[in-house]
Amino acid sequence: MIPDERYEIRNPEIERQLRTLAALIEGETPEGWAWGLFLVPFGENEPEPKGRGVVFWISNGQREGMIEIVKGWVKDQERHQ
């Protein structure tokens, strides 16, 4: 298998589960809508060294556009804290 440099941490089981969830989400998504899904372990999603810093992500949208959407969402959430 050729390594994919987009992944810093590989976990074949989580990757398989993400693809399974992606297929379910895709089947229920309205036409013309993009989606993204994060999986993070409970209590361990803080940056290293305190946590494991593990985040798994899958989406049906263009990577660059989805990154911008997530940045905007985070900025909005931080304003409302």
Are 68 and 76 in contact by the 8 Å Cβ rule? The answer is no
pLDDT, residue 10, reads 78
- Do 44 and 51 form a contact (C-beta atoms < 8 A)? yes
Residue-level pLDDT at 50: 63
Any idea what DSSP says for residue 69?
H
Q: Considering the entire predicted model, what is its pTM?
A: 0.72
**Residue 59, φ and ψ in degrees, nearest 5:** -155, 160
User: pLDDT 10s digit of each residue in the chain, 81 long?
Assistant: 555 666 567 788 988 999 999 999 999 999 999 999 998 887 766 655 565 667 889 999 999 999 999 999 999 999 988
**Rounded Cα gap, residues 14 and 37, in angstroms:** 12
